[in-house]
Structure 1
């Protein structure tokens, strides 16, 4: 008997190996198209065109169709890497270095997104399609948990390219109900009903695109874009500020009361700079909202200030500066604390002229939680400045603008932007 088993063992082993090999080949034949389509989905959705954002709703379906956890990881990574493809070039521009640091940061930033989605992926029973039976309900719930984790701190600090950003394109002016509808739709995209859901969302998309208009600019407000590159805010000379004041007065014309300048436009915010600007605005009713940095021995705050002929004040402290280049918490832990502070859940709105304004500085425009936190306070407008000189050769600024536009359309709010390139 033992001899018989030993004689048959090579045949049994070969049969098992062939079965596994055949199964593995079958899985990879299914996986490769999913990964490729997910990559294309991330690339197109996050190309900087606001009407392309709804392509991102395909990601949950592709994730749910993955035949294995490894495929779910690669599908998630493909989507995220394609969506954030401008990061390597941007980092190279910022540090005046080659592409390698940017490539490493790009890969590292994708880990939280792809690992979270891979961790919450659940396999389908053999012979059943994604979303069938109780497994489908579990899949929807698991996707919602992954999406929530990537939308809120701490993982949400790098939660770029969130599909919920497309809500304003599909459901303009629906407000929180639109967010509920989009959340339910994304969950259903992981079920066996995803083709029907995709068709319905496609109908909303076509209707929205046919009647699309850009958000209004708040009455009495104007954003002034600058083209000073990396010099912006680094020249603290009297001549620099006088030139900028002249630019503001020339751009104001007769109607605007509030002029918005880009992030970091005023450089270091000091009493001397405040007095200089107040003096420069005498004889006008203008109030200038501009980016600046407030420095102390423990680091600095990236802020928005309001200055007029009568007064100057800090309106807003950035909740989430750019990780690594600005926000470097490890330096504070080492006692070196000279990076930007993250005021994570502080000052979601700023009040000026009797209005509550949602402020989103640069990097915050790419994330989910800062805008949703601001919307909880029922603002009357969105102000979104940025300093995008380091994004030359990428679509990062266009993506920021598309994201802000989508959120403004969802809540029916006017928006004013001001960027330096």
Structure 2
């Protein structure tokens, strides 16, 4: 029964709707209710696998394969979460159990284990305590810890009341003044079609966004393909008669591999604005290549450039996978940004709720720290 309930909590809590995220706060109570380490492992597995249920189909879409490789990666990705919660489980109630859960939550929030720290219950803090910032995060941690004790029914009742109040007064994050995110529907051709015609189509899209009041237009991850001097010159010439600025995804390659980046372009200048801290493991980030003396794959700039200055604002960029894990956003918030700029290229998520979950996560973090949010995704 605990396993079934954990699966439901994972599936509904991580449905892609921000207001369902607080259901994830039930996970520690289920974990603490296990009568053995094996059952605790089953509860953790059920929660994590249900929350990340879109991965097998996404992997199949990405590689053009059947569900086999996706199912394998799905199970492998769950190992860290399951192992941590199984090893730290204890049959002894009280403060020791609460501290062990807090340790598990901490380990799954930061590298190396935090690299696969999806579906983290702390994400619900933004729904329960919007605008509270670090105090709200501390309150969420305290709530999770109490949920592992015998007082969990009282904590659950209190959190449910807070949840209902939050839902009744819920408002989406504001859009940064002058920013406009552009969603695209170009499938897997985005970033792979490097023709002049595609670049001109994107330029026309940006100009239309300018007509709707966007002084800074944000395009999705990988929108420009490879960032080269020719692409830079084309865009700067196109923007020469405009005051508009563009933030767009691109890739910068060299003989050793590549960086997944956001570039900033205006008539006066252009350059790399942000280098992704955590690319998607396996499909992009392949650290074993360097261990084997091979080149290739995307570089992970784990703790670099958490915020950048642009357009008179300090912004916290998050590219795709970074929106599903915890430490990139918390590291960025330490520098008190004015806005979050979240981009993604999710063509491979067709048939899943992955993009919706990414959006729900970034919305929750933006509300927790009361910062503006602009998003741009390709489907």
Q: Where on the TM-score scale, by shorter chain, does this alignment land: which range?
A: over 0.9
Q: Match of 1:151, SS?
A: coil
Alignment-derived partner of residue 50 in structure 1:
18
The separation in 1 between residues aligned to 2:63 and 2:32, in whole angstroms, is 39
Which of 291, 300, 317 is the equivalent residue of 1:333?
Answer: 291
**Greater share of residues in helix:** 1
Which of 57, 67, 71 is the equivalent residue of 2:39?
Answer: 71
Write out aligned runs for 1:155-304 (5 A).
155-253=113-211, 255-304=213-262
Instruction: Give CA-to-partner distance per residue, 1:189-237, whole Å, 9 cap, x none.
Output: 0000000000101011000000111111000000000000000011111
The reply on whether 1:409 has 2:367 as its aligned counterpart is: yes
How far did residue 254 of structure 1 move? 5.3
The separation in 2 between residues aligned to 1:334 and 1:276, in whole angstroms, is 39
Write out aligned runs for 1:295-314 (5 A).
295-314=253-272
Instruction: Give CA-to-partner distance per residue, 1:329-375, whole Å, 9 cap, x none.
Output: 11122222210000000000011122110010000000000000000
The separation in 2 between residues aligned to 1:361 and 1:389, in whole angstroms, is 14
Q: Match of 1:418, SS?
A: strand
> Is the Cα contact below 8 Å between 1:233 and 1:264 reproduced in 2?
yes
Q: Match of 2:295, SS?
A: coil
How far did residue 240 of structure 1 move? 1.1
Ranked by relative contact order (alpha carbons within 8 Å, sequence separation 6 or more), the top structure is 2
The two structures have a TM-score, normalised by structure 1, of 0.89
The reply on whether 1:370 has 2:328 as its aligned counterpart is: yes
Alignment-derived partner of residue 98 in structure 1:
66
The separation in 1 between residues aligned to 2:281 and 2:212, in whole angstroms, is 40
Alignment-derived partner of residue 347 in structure 1:
305
Q: Match of 2:108, SS?
A: helix
How far did residue 184 of structure 1 move? 0.5
The separation in 2 between residues aligned to 1:358 and 1:293, in whole angstroms, is 19
How far did residue 253 of structure 1 move? 1.1
Write out aligned runs for 1:10-49 (5 A).
33-49=1-17
Q: Match of 1:360, SS?
A: strand
Could you tell which deviates more after superposition, 248-257 or 396-405? 248-257
The separation in 2 between residues aligned to 1:234 and 1:254, in whole angstroms, is 28
The separation in 2 between residues aligned to 1:267 and 1:100, in whole angstroms, is 30
Q: Match of 2:273, SS?
A: strand
The two structures have a TM-score, normalised by structure 2, of 0.99
- Number of matched residues? 379
Listed as ranges, the gaps of 5+ residues in structure 1 are 1-32, 125-130
The separation in 2 between residues aligned to 1:337 and 1:205, in whole angstroms, is 49
Listed as ranges, the gaps of 5+ residues in structure 2 are none
> Is the Cα contact below 8 Å between 1:383 and 1:417 reproduced in 2?
yes
How far did residue 251 of structure 1 move? 1.9
RMSD over aligned Cα atoms: 0.7
How far did residue 250 of structure 1 move? 1.2
The separation in 2 between residues aligned to 1:182 and 1:263, in whole angstroms, is 31
